[in-house]
Amino acid sequence: MQRARISLSGACARIHTNGTFYGWASVALTGVALYVTSRTSGVPLFAKPLAWASLVLYNVAAIVGTVTLGLGLNNGDQEYREWIWWAAMPLLVAIVLSGISVFGTVVRRSEREMYLSNWYFIVGFVSTAILEVVSALPYYQHGLGQVAVQGFYMHNSLGMWFTFLALGTAYYVLPKLLNRPIYSYSLGILGVWTNLLFYPVIGAHHFEFSPLPWWFQTLAIVFSVGMLIPVWAGSGNFLLTLRGGWEAVRRSPSLPFLVVGIAYYFLGSTQGTVEALRTSQAYWHFTNFTVGHSHATMYGFITFIAWGAAYALLPRATGKPASALATGMHFWLALVGVTMYVLALSAAGTAQGLAWVAGNPFISSVESAGPFWVARAVAGLMMFASHVLFAYNVYRMTLARHTPAAVASALTREVAAV
Amino acid sequence: MRSAWLLAGLSAAIYATLAFATGVWPGEALSKVAPTPGLRPLTPEQEAGRAAYVSEGCSYCHTQYVRPLAEDQVFGRPSVAGDYVYSTPELLGTERNGPDLTNVGLRQPSAVWNYIHLYEPRALVSQSIMPSYRWMFVLRDHALPGDLVVPVPPPYAPPHGVVVAGPQARALVAYLESLKQQPLGPVRRR
């Protein structure tokens, strides 16, 4: 009997990346954006039914996308856009609908100035809607042409979507929790424009030494160096806002997540610039180093910011606190886990690259990475355990019943933190 | 800036321009390159094998691009744009947990090796971490006429009966055998 079965390893890679991108980070950060625009604009959310429809469509896309990938149906091995078109379409509509809600709320705001976070949200939603449409059109994507579009898509889905939403989130939550203004509004605006101008150009650095035009790759590397401007402006701005506020960080359940997010934004993005240089790519391209880097950014930066926002804003919205013990365990398991994960894969990648440059037989690069993969498995288990604790805490902050005394004591703790 | 409309319009204009310049335009231009001389479109069976390659996600661990670097010389000559004319969806890949396969049809011409390797990679390379693709094979008591029997060595051979390559395995091996770089002519000096 011929068994119809799909390789678990191939399907898992795709389900993991698309699931974390569009099933987790996109939904979480869109939720934060909807909350923040309404709060900072001083008006109720514009077109609330559209936001609800967006939530439904995000989940439809995540379920359909995951199931179809598991069945071996995919859009080719195009990283981060493997979902077949009828799973990707609900995602696009979800982004557009919640974008309309975000934009309409800002347009109808009662404040005269548009708060910094809303700059990031508007540019993020507008660019991502354009990106998703452009990259979904198939007519100009054949052979090497598709490689060019893939490099463009792969990095823009990170930079124009997650980076903009996460920075907009941090620009709201950080000053809110510290109860002080952001250090520099201008540095924040500089970040908006430089991200918008530099980010779209750097995609080809995923295909260095490929047959893509050499000048096109060089341009991508130059702009990758340019990315230091928004990264250092942003992370410097956050750190200067935090200056002297470390006592509050120590007491607060949510600020530590934001601090880690900011630190990984700085480290991971600066690493990305160094990694884009041709000399680095000659050693690290195709190795696990890249996978370590993507976890430093998508997990260390984006996911920690989303967690910080959830722990900060959900209790304010529902009046229900999270479990302090579970929050602390979540934080340490996730932080130690991701740090160990990134270090293990960076070491594995370096070992692989050195084995190739030395001209050893290919299998020696697999063997040299082996011990580090054991460390990665341990780190991955810690990260997974932290997610279970987060799920429990989300339950505590939303559906669970609390006694008034517990709510009062948690509120005291939150206020005392500042 | 006080107008959300101005911010949205301006960023849309800037982003659309950059998306055209760095995504659409290179995509369109590079979709029209001429094939490398000697390169042939895939046969229907090779095409089916390529579909299995995509569906199984082989390109998450195997690249199909050779760089102009000394360390890549073992995989063939540096890839050129014309090599990819019949490769949609593209399978260049971003990770090498396994070796590059651009030229595997020349490097590993033995079909028997490929069948055994797909059935159980560790039968040939003991340290391999590649998944086995046993569901592409059929186990029979006796070979039937027209069956392609795979001589799996012990200890990986089944205790009784024979291993026969299924249609998916045959298509995949046909595709792997088609992966051969065409030699480039003498380099013209400008």
Query: Given an 8 Å threshold on Cβ–Cβ distance, is B57 in contact with A10?
Result: yes
- pLDDT band for position B185 (cuts 50, 70, 90): confident
DSSP assignment string, A110-146: SSSSPPHHHHHHHHHHHHHHHHHHHHH--TT--THHH
A291 touches chain B (CB under 8 A): yes
Q: What is the pLDDT of residue A11?
A: 85
Q: Mean pLDDT in chain B?
A: 94
Residue A414: pLDDT band with limits 50, 70, 90? low
Residues of A in Cβ contact (< 8 Å) with B101: none
A272 contacts A297 by C-beta, under 8 angstroms: yes
**Average pLDDT rounded to a whole number, residues A258-278:** 97
- pLDDT over 80 (residue B189): no
- Contact criterion met (CB < 8 Å) for A145 and B24: no
The pLDDT value recorded for residue A6 is: 54
Check: CB of residue A317 under 8 Å from CB of residue A35.
Answer: yes
pLDDT at B79: 97
* Contact assignment for B85 to A5 by CB distance below 8 Å: no
Disruptive mutation site among B22, B118, B168 for chain A (greatest number of A CBs within 10 Å): B22
A402, A405, A411, A417 alpha-carbon torsion, rounded to 10°: -120
Residue A279 backbone dihedrals phi, psi, to 5 degrees: -60, -45
Share of chain A above pLDDT 70, in %: 96
Residue B1 pLDDT: 60
Looking at per-residue pLDDT, the higher value among A61 and A3 belongs to A61
SS3 B150: strand
Chain A, residues 365-384, CB within 8 A of chain B, namely 365-367
Nearest to B21 by CA among A164, A125, A219: A219
pLDDT band at A413 (very low <50, low <70, confident <90, very high): low
Q: How confident is the model at residue A228 (pLDDT cuts 50, 70, 90)?
A: very high
Q: Is the pLDDT of residue A109 over 50?
A: yes
Identity (one letter) of the amino acid at A326? A
Q: How confident is the model at residue A2 (pLDDT cuts 50, 70, 90)?
A: very low
Angle in degrees, CA A128, A131, A137, rounded to 5: 145
Q: A interface mutation test: which of B6, B36, B60, B101 has the most A CBs within 10 A?
A: B60
Task: Determine the residue among B3, B6, B18 to mutate to test chain A binding: the one whose Cβ has the most chain A Cβ atoms within 10 Å.
Answer: B18
Q: Which residue among B33, B67, B127 sits closest to A144, beta carbon to beta carbon?
A: B33
Residues of B with Cβ-Cβ distance to A374 under 8 angstroms: none
Q: Do A260 and A338 meet the contact criterion of CB atoms below 8 Å apart?
A: no
Cβ contact B84–A114 (<8 Å):
no
Q: Which of A274, A270, A307, A268 lies closest to A291, judged by CA?
A: A268
Nearest to A119 among B7, B31, B94 (CB): B7
In the predicted structure, residue A409 carries a pLDDT above the cut 80: no
Task: Tell me the CA distances in angstroms from A416 to A78, A238, A319, A403, one per residue in order.
Answer: 49, 22, 16, 20
Residues in chain A within 8 Å Cβ distance of B83:
211
Which of the four pLDDT bands, split at 50, 70 and 90, describes residue A120?
Answer: very high
pLDDT at residue A227 is higher than 50: yes
| Cis ω for the linkage preceding A404 (within 30 of 0) | no
Residues in A closer than 8 angstroms to B70, CB to CB, are: 357, 359
The CA-based angle A306-A113-A235, given to 5 degrees, is: 40
pLDDT class of A5 with cuts at 50, 70, 90: low
Query: For residue A41, what is the nearest residue in chain B, using CA coordinates?
Result: B4
Count CA within 13 A, CB hemisphere, residue A226.
18
In the sheet with B162-165, reading across from the earlier edge strand, the strands are B137-140, B162-165, B149-150
- Whether residue A14 is predicted with pLDDT greater than 50 in this model: the reply is yes
Going by their DSSP bridges, the two strands B162-165 and B137-140 should be labelled as: antiparallel
Please, which pLDDT band fits residue B42 given cuts at 50, 70 and 90? very high
Q: Quick check: B31 and A122 CB within 8 A?
A: no
ipTM of the complex: 0.93
User: How much is the mean pLDDT over chain A?
Assistant: 94
Q: Using the predicted structure, report yes or no on whether residue A8 has a pLDDT greater than 70.
A: no
- Give the pLDDT of residue A80: 93
**Look-up: residue for tokens 């007519």?**
A139
For the segment B48-60, the average pLDDT, to the nearest whole number, is 94
> pTM for this structure?
0.95
| H helix or E strand, kind and range, residue B156 | none
CB–CB contact B90 A76 (8 Å): yes
Neighbouring C-beta atoms of residue B76, cutoff 10 Å: 19
Burial A274-292 (b: 16+ CB within 10 A, else e): ebbeeebbbbbbbbbbbbb
- Assign A1 a pLDDT band (cuts: 50, 70, 90): very low
% residues pLDDT > 90 (chain A): 89
Among A6, A68, A77, pick the best mutation site for testing chain B contact (most B Cβ within 10 A): A77
Contact A211/B80, CB-based, under 8 Å? yes
Q: Is the pLDDT of residue B10 over 80?
A: yes
Q: What's the half-sphere exposure (Cβ side, CA atoms, 13 Å) at B169?
A: 28
Q: What is the DSSP annotation of A150-216?
A: HHHHHHHIIIIIIIHHHHHHHHHHHHHHHTS--S-HHHHHHHHHHHHHHGGG-GGGGGTTSSS-HHH
Chain A residue closest in CA terms to B81: A211
Cis previous bond, B89, omega within 30: yes
Q: Do B92 and A207 touch (CB under 8 A)?
A: yes
Q: Is the pLDDT of residue B126 over 90?
A: yes
CA distance A283 to A272: 14
pLDDT computed for residue B183 by the predictor? 93
Partners of residue A282 in chain B, C-beta under 8 Å: 69, 71
Q: Between chains, do B94 and A103 touch, taking CB under 8 Å as contact?
A: no
CB contact under 8 A, A211 and B83: yes
Averaged pLDDT for residues A121-141: 95
